[in-house]
Structure 1
Amino acid sequence: MSSDLLDALTALEKQKGISRDVLVEAIEAALVTAYKRNFNQAQNVRVDLNLDKGTMKVYSRKDVVDEVEDDRLEISLEDARRINPAYELEDIVEEEVTPRDFGRIAAQTAKQVVTQRVREAERGLIYEEYVDREDDIVNGIVERLDARNLYVGLGKVEAVLPAGEQISTETYQPHDRIKVYITKVERTSRGPQVFVSRTHPGLLRRLFEVEVPEIYEGIVEIKSIAREAGDRSKISVHTNNEEVDPVGSCVGARGARVQSISNELNGEKIDIVEWSEDPVIFVANALSPSKVIDVQVNEEDRSTTVVVPDYQLSLAIGKRGQNARLAAKLTGWKIDIKSETDARELGIYPRAFDETQVEAEGQLDEELALNDPYFVEDEASTEFEEETIDLYSDDED
């Protein structure tokens, strides 16, 4: 048994990375419990498992005392010195008590311990692998669905995609291949539990890092993301390299890069705008593809009043207020949109942006907005109610 066990432990050490010494200690501890249980013994014992010599012995351990109260645990100094004159008080006397048929029990116990430790080690390795991949994307295969969750196979572990993290416009079937974003990894009694998402803004960020080399290399930085998963998203980008166009880098030739990401997200529309530390410019950019005439900023409550041409009010608002709502989330500023006519009636006299500045800051005119592959115009109408609309809230009409 010792030779076979030695070979097995050596193989496990190479394949699973589990130290042989750790396994031997675990087996010895389990054999102590097995000895007490199977032979109805209550004394302290120690098991010595020597795989190199092929020996296994059980030793009772007794404390050397002046007066013995429990002879299963203690031995008098006089009796101890009959065994070895060198014993002193508080020493421990060991005596071999290996049962004749202990080998069968030992083999069974060793098998159970090794199996358990291998399982624990594998779980630990899987946990360590995936806990380091939190906030990253992985490829998975849809394995099964139930009433609440979708289960995605990641190879060594099955991840949970909760209903709230699924894109409402997507349908999933077993064996479908999808990209998911790891949001959390937990250690449980049944092994590591991995939770993933298809709606998290981090998924969009990681997809751009994969698709756009300038982002991966740090030349272009994603400053903020606002996402309504499955429908539309906005991202703001920035670079300190004057020779690099951050928006163009993300769009790619003929929109190839952003289109690839949109396809991965089941056709989700993605607006890419240039970030600016000036809230006037940033808010105007964020409302693309609508043209903006004026942005007035209130620093105290981080709010802005935006004036747009009358015929572009619906475009600025977006269907069910989506464009303005996403712009507010992207910038972190409240946005109150007014048509030019309403603004003048209320005593707000907008100053028109210089056309050169508008173009330089990424403001697209209506024709460009309709033709550009990464800007998709909402179903806008030139008809609108003449009223002031606060679109920072998420309430939809």
Structure 2
Amino acid sequence: MHADLVALVQQIAKEKELPLEEVLGAMCDGIRLAYEKQFMRDAGRHQRRRMRPRIVAILDLDARVLKLALEKTVVETPHNPHTEISLEEARKVHPDANIGDKVRVDLPLSEFTRSAMQLARQAMMERIRKVEQRRVYEAFKDKVGTIVTAQVLRKDSYGNLYLSLGKGEALLPRREQVPTENLQKGEQVKVYVYEVREPTGSTEPIVRVSRTHKELLRKLLELHVPEIAKGEVEIKGLVRDPGYRSKVAVAAKDPSIDPVGACIGPQGKRINAIMQELRNERVDIIAWSEDEVEFLIHSLSPARPSVVIMNFDERTATVVVSEDQLSLAIGRQGRNVSLAARLTGWRIDIRTPERLGRLIVPETQSETAIPQPPPQAVAVDEPRVEEAKEGVTSPPLTGAMTVSVPAQAPALAPASEPSEVSGVNESAPSEEQGR
């Protein structure tokens, strides 16, 4: 057979990193379908299955020859010309043939029509896809829940990205892409593997990855912070607004370890490396506390609340901040207070003393006496979210409680607050407001 076909088989085997035998087997499957379409078109489906021919490929790399043949059984009276051959006909090809022997009869490709060969090619490539997908499945089925490095290959008309994993491809659906990112062909990115599907032969990759999943940030923290990887520092809660901002609540099992400082790293190197992986998404590292009041105050970092009024029955909190802290507390498009609400599981209203409209009630006053904000008051209400902070138990309190926050109360655990590193420059509230 023509040397070009030999070269094609070798090329496919090399590109797909498959054994030659696998490619030849796929070719034989395709040729068999083409044979059935062209020479067995009058037979029904059940007849085709019962009379299915066996096609074999013989490859001689030295001579650069590839031959296809029909394998038939020698019988006295053939009933199926596609799988059986008479002794007389068999001995024309193989003089030593006997009844019951298997003989091979040459099958020239020149006998096939163009449409039959097109079908053969489609069937061949489908089988090769299944082999590839099976290999990728075996390699990645145990990597669900991990991060991998991938290279951008192309984008389809729906905005989905196809990524190279080395020996296979992954799909980064549009809904799993960060809105602020514009990944280009050839770029390398870390992605979170959230699904590996069973192979079906479909043209779509079976590995599905994400850049927006909150677990991507968790895995990056484990990768860059040894104390988290070793279990010395625990991530108590994590929320993301992908591409814009995230908040992570951490606690140390050993009181001698500073959990926030461990995550930030010397000169902010650890957290900066994580933010670079997330294309400059701002990451706030928050000191978790069993005290819900303290934790809520920390969650609003870098803002410094003056007074917090908490209703433990309804899990709502009114936070009073000075005018210069308002933009920091709310954040651009309400992101800071939104993430704080999701992290703590509390609905948070931000107020300034002027907008509160009246004096804060004493701590001893009942819940029903909590002053209601006037109609013109600006509030940022965020719904409770299921992914609220993990493992926090409400204290056995009822009604409302008013807490006055000391002026120097820290929003982050370390004494030296790297506010730029955690994602916000406290000295520039106008910048936060304009983000």
Please tell me the TM-score bracket, short chain as reference.
0.5 to 0.7
Instruction: Give SS of 2:185's match.
Output: coil
Distance 1:155-1:97 versus aligned 2 partners, 3 A rule: same
Name the % identity.
Answer: 37
| Contact 1:271 1:375 (C-alpha < 8 Å) held by counterparts | yes
Q: Does 2:269 correspond to 1:256?
A: yes
Matched to 1:178, the amino acid is: V
Match of 1:222 in 2: 235
Instruction: Give SS of 2:274's match.
Output: helix
Match of 1:373 in 2: 421
Deviations 1:48-79 (A, max 9, x none): 99xxxxxx87499xxxxxxxxxxx8xxxxxxx
Give the C-alpha shift of residue 274 in structure 1.
1.2
Q: Does 2:191 correspond to 1:141?
A: no
Q: 2:359 aligns with which of 320, 345, 356?
A: 345
Distance 1:191-1:262 versus aligned 2 partners, 3 A rule: closer
TM-score, normalised via structure 2 length: 0.60
1:1-397 pair list within 5 angstroms: 58=73, 96=100, 101-102=104-105, 120-147=130-157, 148-186=159-197, 187-188=199-200, 189-190=202-203, 192-340=205-353, 342=356, 345=359, 347=361, 350-353=402-405, 358-359=409-410, 362=412, 372-377=420-425, 380=429
Structure 2 stretches lacking a partner, 5+ long:
1-12, 56-70, 80-98, 109-119, 364-401
For 2:353 and 2:174, locate their aligned partners in 1 and report how far apart those are by CA, in whole Å: 43
For 1:142 and 1:46, locate their aligned partners in 2 and report how far apart those are by CA, in whole Å: 43
Distance 1:369-1:171 versus aligned 2 partners, 3 A rule: same
For 2:346 and 2:265, locate their aligned partners in 1 and report how far apart those are by CA, in whole Å: 29
Distance 1:161-1:47 versus aligned 2 partners, 3 A rule: closer
Give the C-alpha shift of residue 354 in structure 1.
5.8
Deviations 1:16-55 (A, max 9, x none): 79x99xx99xx99x99xx89x9799969789999xxxxxx
Give the C-alpha shift of residue 117 in structure 1.
6.5
| Contact 2:140 2:196 (C-alpha < 8 Å) held by counterparts | yes
Instruction: Give SS of 1:183's match.
Output: strand
Instruction: Give SS of 1:238's match.
Output: strand
Distance 1:352-1:119 versus aligned 2 partners, 3 A rule: closer
CA RMSD, 1 decimal: 4.8
| Contact 2:268 2:418 (C-alpha < 8 Å) held by counterparts | no
Deviations 1:99-139 (A, max 9, x none): x555769xxxxx99999766534321211322322222111
Distance 1:320-1:45 versus aligned 2 partners, 3 A rule: closer
Distance 1:257-1:146 versus aligned 2 partners, 3 A rule: same
Give the C-alpha shift of residue 364 in structure 1.
7.7
For 1:127 and 1:174, locate their aligned partners in 2 and report how far apart those are by CA, in whole Å: 24
TM-score, normalised via structure 1 length: 0.65
For 2:185 and 2:52, locate their aligned partners in 1 and report how far apart those are by CA, in whole Å: 53
Matched to 2:319, the amino acid is: V
Give the C-alpha shift of residue 253 in structure 1.
0.2
Deviations 1:208-263 (A, max 9, x none): 11111111111112122221222211111122111211111100001010011112
For 2:232 and 2:414, locate their aligned partners in 1 and report how far apart those are by CA, in whole Å: 24
